[in-house]
């Protein structure tokens, strides 16, 4: 397995997986992701197996910070260790970066409560840790997990980098 910078020919596979993997409320317009890639704010990586496309990462990079904005493994390839291997490859590819991500906060009353719990356990098993940081991002309460120590100020710096000087309007601390 390897991580490769996405090429134009990968975009339709990435977009299709993106649209089925994330709730509408959590999806940025795909055109914004592509624009951020052209502007050097984001990187699209594909997860490749011998048999081809297995998933993708959308990464925002700001100095020593790396936000895993989106990460998905193709439906037919899940539960085979691909996600764990991909996270390991990402860590080795980006030494010295503070890699973090957002997950929906656990909520026993949520429709997808079991999925939220399973997702968090997956990341914790793969070396991430709770930061104690939560943000309400565009109306969705999210918890920050990270491979290393991360401060609220560092995560705020990433959002300011991604969303500009008015980043705080749709993003609030919880």
Q: Which residue has the tokens 């890639």?
A: 37
> What pTM did the predictor assign?
0.92
The pLDDT tens digits for 71-117 are 999 998 998 999 999 999 999 999 999 999 999 999 898 888 899 89
Which band of pLDDT confidence, cut at 50, 70 and 90, is reported for residue 32? very high
Torsion of CA 83, 84, 85, 90, to 10 degrees: 90
Domain span at residue 93?
2-173
- Check: CB of residue 119 under 8 Å from CB of residue 110: no
Q: Domains in the chain: how many in total? A: 1
Write the CA distances from 11 to 18, 55, 147, integer angstroms. 10, 11, 28
Q: What is the CATH number of the domain that holds 149?
A: 3.40.630.30
Q: Which range is least confidently modeled, 12-21, 25-34, 129-138, 157-166? A: 157-166
- Check: CB of residue 157 under 8 Å from CB of residue 65: yes
Largest CA distance in the chain: 44
């Amino acid at each position: 397995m390897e991580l490769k910078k996405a090429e134009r020919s990968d975009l339709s596979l990435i977009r299709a997986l993106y649209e089925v993997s994330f709730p509408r409320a959590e999806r940025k317009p795909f055109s914004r992701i592509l624009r951020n890639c052209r502007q050097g704010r984001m990187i699209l990586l594909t997860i490749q197996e011998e048999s081809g496309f297995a998933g993708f990462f959308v990464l925002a990079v700001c100095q020593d910070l790396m936000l895993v904005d989106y990460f998905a493994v193709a439906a037919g390839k899940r539960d085979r260790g691909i996600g764990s291997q991909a996270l390991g490859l990402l860590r080795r590819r980006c030494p010295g970066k503070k890699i973090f991500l957002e997950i929906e906060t656990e909520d026993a009353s949520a429709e997808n409560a079991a999925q939220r719990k399973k997702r968090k356990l997956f990341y914790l098993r793969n070396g991430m840790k709770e930061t104690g940081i939560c943000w309400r991002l565009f109306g969705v309460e999210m918890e920050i997990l990270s491979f290393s120590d991360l401060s609220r100020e560092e995560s705020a710096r990433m959002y300011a980098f991604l969303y500009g000087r008015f980043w705080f309007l749709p993003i609030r601390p919880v």
